[in-house]
Amino acid sequence: MGLIGLAVGCAALTPIALGITLTPAALKTAAMFCLFFGCGCQFLAGVMSLANKNLYGGTLFTAFAFNWAMNWWILDSLAGGVIPDHDVLLFVDCCFLLVFAAMTYGFGFFSGLLFLFLLVIDLMYVFKIIAALTGTSALTLPIAVLTIILGLLALWIAFALLINPVAGKRLFWFPGPVYRAAPPQKP
């Protein structure tokens, strides 16, 4: 559910990220998809994960949910003619990069595909931070492409988790861990 919501949110952001449409109506439309799908689905997935004692998944989905709520607010503000403060967004993006970089490492213990998924998010934040610090627009297209890749990866992972067990076989490739945890140390 959280991954499908993320994919829908990425799809809504794609025409904006590619510069196809930047009208107030487009910004407000994308904002609503970010709020209901990006935020809503991920928040629900996070709370359900936490209820099932999955601290890792619950923390990640809930953090993403609040990130999507910020996307909603930013797009809604832009549609209304209010530009969010550049410096505050830059510092928050730096914080998110640190959080998601740590989560990327952790996902390596679960699956190479989940590791790649988070690595794409890390790259998006690196590009956003570089663009914010330098004022360049040269990273606009790479960020848009990463948005598309992220949405497609989210769908692939969701389908692998949903369809593979139902089909009784691996229709969607889903690799194992990138690395294994070290065995416990003896005192």
pLDDT per 10-residue tile (average), the chain, 187 residues: 96 97 97 97 97 94 95 97 96 96 95 96 98 96 98 97 96 94 82
Tokens of 134: 């330098």
Residue 105 domain flag: yes
In this prediction, residue 26 carries a pLDDT of 98
Find the domain containing 96 and state its range: 2-165
Residue 171 domain flag: no
pLDDT digits (tens, 9 = 90+) for 141-154: 999 999 999 999 99
Residue 83 domain flag: yes
Residue 187 domain flag: no
Q: Is 81 helix (H, G, I), strand (E, B) or coil?
A: coil
Residue 72 domain flag: yes
In contact, 155 and 113? CB cutoff 8 Å: no
In this prediction, residue 184 carries a pLDDT of 83
Closest CA to 30 of 56, 52, 48, 12: 12
Residue 19 domain flag: yes
Counting the structural domains of the chain, the total is: 1
Residue 147 domain flag: yes
Residue 47 domain flag: yes
